[in-house]
Amino acid sequence: MNSAVLQQLTKPESGGGLLLLRRSTPLTRRHTIYFCSGAYTGSRLLALLEAGSYEGLGQTVERIRRIFDLGADPIQIASHLSRDPKLRQLVRRRPVLRVPGVWDGFEAAVLAVLGQKLTMPGSKRVVTRLVQVFGTPVNTPVRGLKYLFPRPEILVHADLSKAGISDSSARVLRKLACSTMRKHLTFSTLRTLERTVSQLAAVHGIDESTAHYIAMRAFGEPDAFPAKEPGLRRRLAELMPIASPVHAIHVAERWRPWRAYAAMHWRLS
């Protein structure tokens, strides 16, 4: 999901299908640090939280629900997507597929701008350097968790070239940080897809497809569809004649209102 210095997503050396998420985060004014381990096995999600107090616990639980997309109705989604013959076999293979969320919307938007999307490995070295230079160091008992992700008020004035970030990407990140600081852009999920994409597109340099990706991951928009995402387009082109992002959007109309889940099925196929 994110840079290894922020969180770890690993599989165990043995044992059935366990997926482990570890990360630290500040949730309160006193910067209480939570260490969260989430294990998703079959129909159960086991979460272990370690913190110095109970402050912010409810918010933490809600974030865990969002990361693992626990609000989705996989039966309803699978039933709808199975109507498409091209998707039916993929849905049978993964009938309870969910769209992974993120811990922090601003963090996800920064990573999207830097190129870490559905299928693009992006520059992990740049992200790691960004966190090491501008993040907040923390002492944790968990190996690999050494920093908190840099906040908007830090990045808005930062010399991002120190992290190897290009001038063009730096400009977008500063605008993103500024919009977040001024509350012009918030990561509330209580909005329409159109409004979400419009607000993100207002940040100069974020194209519509990247806005859809952020909406999909950070806002939990079930109908978001990043049509220009290279890997997704390649996979669709292997199965059907997709000439352009516009054509991809046209094809995806049949998957509404669950296009984000269709995108995940295609990418995992």
Q: DSSP readout, the chain?
A: ---TTTEEEE--SSSSS--EEEEEEE-STT--EEEEEEEEETTEEEEEEE-SSSTTHHHHHHHHHHHTTTT--HHHHHHHHTTSHHHHHHHHHSTT------S-HHHHHHHHHTT-SSS----HHHHHHHHHHHSEE---SSTT--EEPPPHHHHTT--GGGGT--HHHHHHHHHHHHHHHTTSS---SSS-HHHHHHHHHTSTT--HHHHHHHHHHHS--TT---TT-HHHHHHHHHHS---SHHHHHHHHGGGTT-HHHHHHHHHH-
The per-residue pLDDT for range 181-236, each reduced to its tens digit, is 998 888 877 678 998 898 888 887 898 999 999 999 999 999 999 988 877 887 88
The residues, ordered by sequence, that sit 6+ positions from 27 with a Cβ below 8 Å of its Cβ are 34, 55, 56, 59, 60
Residue 161 pLDDT more than 90? yes
Pairwise CA distance, residues 99 & 112, whole Å: 16
pLDDT at 153: 95
User: Do 229 and 252 form a contact (C-beta atoms < 8 A)?
Assistant: no
CA R_g for the chain: 19
- The position carrying tokens 């944790």 is 140
pTM across the whole model: 0.81
> How does pLDDT run across 69-93, given as a tens digit for each residue?
888 999 999 999 999 998 999 999 9
- Domain residue ranges of the chain, discontinuous segments joined by +: 7-72, 105-220
For residues 115 and 85, give the distance between their C-alpha atoms in angstroms, rounded to a whole number: 32
Max mean pLDDT among 101-115, 125-139, 148-162, 192-206 falls in 148-162
pLDDT at 110 over 90: yes
% of the chain exceeding 70 in pLDDT: 75
CATH number for the domain whose boundaries are 105-220:
1.10.340.30
pLDDT at residue 262 greater than cutoff 90: yes
Q: Are 113 and 169 in contact (CB under 8 A)?
A: yes
**Whole-angstrom distance, CA of residue 64 vs CA of residue 52:** 18
